[in-house]
Amino acid sequence: MNKLNLTKQRKVILDLLQHSDDHPTASEIIERLRDQGHHFAYGTVYNSLKYLTEMELIRELKLGETASRYDARTDDHHHIVCKRCGKVDEVLTEVPAEWLKAVEQETAYRVDHAHVVLEGVCPACRIPQA
């Protein structure tokens, strides 16, 4: 049971994510760090994100874009992406257990986890323009 090793850099990055209300990519994180006066090496940011993910302090989101996004919410939840503006929101409604059961029956796999990315149109983008 190796204990948590939060270096200065890792703390700053974790803090940044915890105070973000969106889901930034690594390069957005680097940008924001620069804005705060931090000039961590490129590799350090990736290394820190990987470490924080392994320690389950943050989650890495692979939403089908070219770059991963990061989220300080670690409870199990899903995401919905607006196909118009690209906004990403959280989805807390959990996938029905019966559906997972049905998949186990169909595939003969043991199902451990469902990773769901929903696609739709966000409230703002649905407002009809004049």
Distance, CA of 79 to CA of 32 (rounded, Å)? 23
How many Cβ atoms from other residues are within 10 Å of residue 29's Cβ?
A: 21
Of the candidates 108, 127, 128, 129, which one interacts with a second copy according to CB under 8 A?
Answer: 108
CB of 17 to a second copy, least distance (A): 20
26 near a second copy, judged by CB under 8 A? no
What's at 14, amino acid-wise? Answer: L
Instruction: Rank residues 68 and 95 by Cβ distance to DNA and give the closer one.
Output: 68
55 near DNA, judged by CB under 7 A? no
111 near a second copy, judged by CB under 8 A? yes
How many Cβ atoms from other residues are within 10 Å of residue 13's Cβ?
A: 28
46 near DNA, judged by CB under 7 A? yes
What's at 74, amino acid-wise? Answer: T
Distance, CA of 13 to CA of 52 (rounded, Å)? 9
Of the candidates 1, 4, 92, 127, which one interacts with a second copy according to CB under 8 A?
Answer: 92
118 near a second copy, judged by CB under 8 A? yes
CB of 58 to a second copy, least distance (A): 16
What is the CB-side half-sphere exposure of residue 40 using CA atoms within 13 A? 24
Residues within the interface to a second copy (CB under 8 A): 62, 64, 80, 82-83, 89, 91-93, 95-96, 98-100, 102-104, 106-123, 126
